[in-house]
Amino acid sequence: MMASPLFCMHFYKRFTAAYSRLLSWLLVFAVGVLLLWKLRRIVALVVIAASVMLQGETPPELRGRVSGAAASLMSLSQLAAMLLSGWWAARLGIRGVFLVSAAMLFAIGGSGFKRCGLSTVRLH
C-alpha cells in the first residue's frame, strides 16, 4: 500500500522536471525564432536601402556592372567573415569572437559618426 504513493510521487517529480525542461527549451526556441525573424527584416531593409542608393548614384549604362560588382563583394565579404570567425574562434574562443565583433561594430559606427560630422544623436 505504501509503495504506490511513493512511486506516484517519484514519477510526478521526474515528470515535472522533464516537463519544465521541455518548456524552457521551447521558450528559448521561440525567443530565438523571434530574434531571427527581426534580424532578417533588418538585414533586408539595409540591403534594399544600399541597393537603392547604389542604383541612384550610378549612371544607367553602368548599373548592371555596378550591381554585379556589389553582389560579388557582398559574397566575398561573407566568405571572409566565415573564415575569419572560425580562425578567431579557434584562437580566442567564442566569447572572444563576440567581443572582437562588438569592438569592430562600435569602431565602424564611431568612424561613421565622425565622418558624417555627427557629434550627437538626435531622436525626433
At 119, the amino acid letter reads S
Looking at the structure, do residues 64 and 110 belong to the same domain, yes or no?
A: yes
**Are 67 and 118 contained in the same domain?**
yes
- Total number of domains in the chain: 2
pLDDT higher for 59 or 115?
59
**Domain span at 50:** 1-57
Sign of CA dihedral 99, 103, 108, 112: positive
Distance, C-alpha 76 to centroid of its chain = 18
Verify that 106 and 73 share a domain, yes or no: yes
92: pLDDT strictly greater than 70: yes
Last residue of a domain, one of 35, 57, 79: 57
Statement: the pTM of the whole predicted model exceeds 0.85: no
Task: For 3-57, write each residue's pLDDT tens digit.
Answer: 555 555 555 566 666 667 777 777 888 888 888 888 888 888 888 888 888 888 8
**Same domain, residue pair 53 and 78:** no
**Higher-confidence residue: 24 or 91?**
91
> Under 8 Å CB-to-CB from 101, ≥6 apart: which residues?
85
Q: What pLDDT score does 103 carry?
A: 92
CB atoms within 10 A of CB 90: 9
